[in-house]
Amino acid sequence: MSVITIQCRLVAEEDTLRQLWELMAEKNTPLINELLAQVGKNPEFETWVEKGKIPTEFLKTLANSLKTQERFAGQPGRFYTSAIALVDYVYKSWFALQKRRKYQIEGKERWLKMLKSDLELEQESQCSLNVIRTKATEILIKFTPQSEQNSNQKKGKKTKKSTKSKKSSLFQILLNTYGETQDPLIRCALAYLLKNKCKISELDEDPEEFTRNRRKKEIEIEQLKDQLQSRIPKGRDLTGEEWLETLEIATANVAQNEKETKAWQAALLRKTADVPFPVAYESKEDITWLKNDKNRLFVRFKGKDFRKLIFEIYCDKRHLHYFQRFLEDQEIKRSSKNQHSSSVFTLCSGRLAWLPREEKGEAWKVNQLNLYCALDTRLLTTEGTQQVIEEKVTKITKILTVTKQKDDLNDEQQAFITRQQSTLDRINNPFPRPSKPNYQGQPSILVGVSFGLKKPVTVAVVDVVKNEVLAYRSVKQLLGENYNLLNRQRQQQQRLSHERHKAQKQNALNSFGESELGQ
């Protein structure tokens, strides 16, 4: 699936932008903040952390109970669906981070138990350090391939990359062997090797350095445990009320411990978001495309009272044909009286988001409203569309077969079957799209790109099977008539560097680093 994302700016009357901002900032974002908080307070939260996900039905039930409250009521249905999906995504990411931290803690604690000084190794094995070294040498020879030993004797030198990879694999082998063996001497010899990076050290161990290294690992574990106990994901404080409350608490009270001090400090130093959470439109027909008499493109969104808000599209000229295609798909479906399926619309999904700006003024005037659209590039051609249709038909047929085998289907399941069957009946009615053969990649053809200071970029196309270069392009060939811009930039860099050097010698403030090309 070849999905790309394009974007456009949405422009509308001030009242329209104000209504949208108030919906997203005063209704939707507080709802998401409340959902994030309620999930973390649930008695089943620890179970969800272990499983790595939140039950979808729980989030739906929680959102339905909250949207009856006055402060969250009055939003379009898509806003509630988007809030549920966003909270689910945030917690999935947070659960994954927690899981990774647990693995890191377990690994570092296991290493800390194994990390012992030479004196401790002698006491545990009841053998001298020389005996431990001798045993470590035997183990090293045993786990080092014979071919590698011979090559080391002959060549004496290895590349850094190959040496690093071989050491890492040997380290893992020794680590696994340490966990499997019970013999005290072998365990101590393995611990000695692991501690010394799979080498036999002829020097006496520095006790102070060993203590520092051990303490370093202990600090790493403590930091990870603090992160593991960190607070649940927080929402966006657009009003700054939470920051002011924390400041008031911190100035009026004395922290009971260091942990509380760090919590206050983190809350006060945390950079607050200036714009509300985005709203996702996963359904392809939730976004309606329009065109006026002057061939200007407009868009509006599905929802109670929300469909009255219309936005004009300002986009890059390169992306204009994509937005025109979105409009054509909807017009074709509408003119054919829904004989075409929206499942093969070029548009996959959309996301409505505010882009923060630093200017001062009313939020809906200052911040820029953007629409991000994801599209499947295969749906731009007849051949690609047919490929997508075949995939969807196979998937829907499989789902219908499994669902129909179930007994006592409820009304929701029956409606789902009806929708899927309707899609299956209409999906083979193709949209009129240009024909272009699908690209067939050749695994043996590779493209290499080289970057450097003297030669900024060089591209080569190579056939690895025939071992020949099919094409080679220098930066001058790639830029063509625009090559003079590169020379202009280099000259500008030299001049700015010289002027900056003179200013530094005079101890003067300057802004010579600013580019003139973008002015």
Same domain, 323 and 288: yes
Residue 290: inside a domain, yes or no? yes
Q: Are 9 and 370 in contact (CB under 8 A)?
A: yes
Q: Residue 100's domain spans which residues?
A: 1-117+205-230+273-380
Does 366 share its domain with 460? Answer: no
Residue 122 in any domain: the answer is: no
At 513 the pLDDT is: 47
Shared domain for 277 and 412, answered yes or no, is no
- 85 with 112, same domain: the answer is yes
Residue 325 lies in a domain: yes
Q: How many distinct structural domains can be found in the chain?
A: 3
Residues 4 and 68 in one domain: yes
Query: What separation in angstroms does the CA of 103 have from each of 97, 109, 110?
Result: 10, 10, 11
Total residues belonging to the chain = 519
Whether residues 68 and 51 share a domain: the answer is yes
Residues 370 and 386 placed together within one structural domain of the fold:
no
Domain match, 463 and 432 both: no
**Same domain (yes/no): 429, 449:** no
Q: From 420, 440, 460, give the residue that closes a domain.
A: 440
State which of 333, 365, 380 marks the end of a domain. 380
Give the Cα-Cα-Cα angle 107, 108, 109 (nearest 5 degrees): 95
pLDDT of residue 364: 92
3 state SS of 189: helix
Asked whether residue 390 is assigned to any structural domain, the reply reads: yes
DSSP 24: I
Residues 460 and 357 in one domain: no
Residues 20, 5: Cα–Cα separation, whole Å: 23
Is 463 inside a domain boundary? Answer: yes
pLDDT of residue 163: 57
* pTM of the entire predicted model: 0.76
Burial 457-484 (b: 16+ CB within 10 A, else e): ebeeebeeeeeeeeeeeeeeeebeeeee
- pLDDT in the model for residue 167: 61
Tell whether 355 and 402 lie within a shared domain: no
How many whole angstroms from its chain centre is CA 213?
33
Residue identified by tokens 């499994």 is 402
Residue 166 has a pLDDT of 59
Question: How many whole angstroms separate alpha carbon 366 and alpha carbon 263?
Answer: 32
Mean pLDDT by 10 residues, the chain (519 residues): 89 93 93 92 90 90 92 90 94 91 90 88 88 88 62 48 62 84 88 86 84 90 82 82 77 74 72 87 89 91 82 93 93 86 90 90 92 93 90 89 80 84 85 86 89 89 91 91 87 88 72 44
507 within domain boundaries: no
DSSP string spanning 103-144? Answer: HHHHHHHHHHHH---HHHHHHHHTS-HHHHHHHHHHHHHHHS
Q: Tell me, yes or no, whether 330 lies in a domain.
A: yes
Is residue 371 in a domain? yes
Residues 365 and 219 in one domain: yes
Res 151: pLDDT:
45
Distance (Å, rounded) from C-alpha 112 to C-alpha 214? 7
- Taking the C-alpha atoms of 156, 160, 166 and 169 in order, what is their torsion angle to the nearest 10 degrees? 150
Q: Where does a domain end: 392, 418, 440?
A: 440
Q: Are strands 457-463 and 310-314 parallel, antiparallel or unpaired?
A: unpaired
Predicted pLDDT at 293 = 87
Per-residue pLDDT, 509: 54
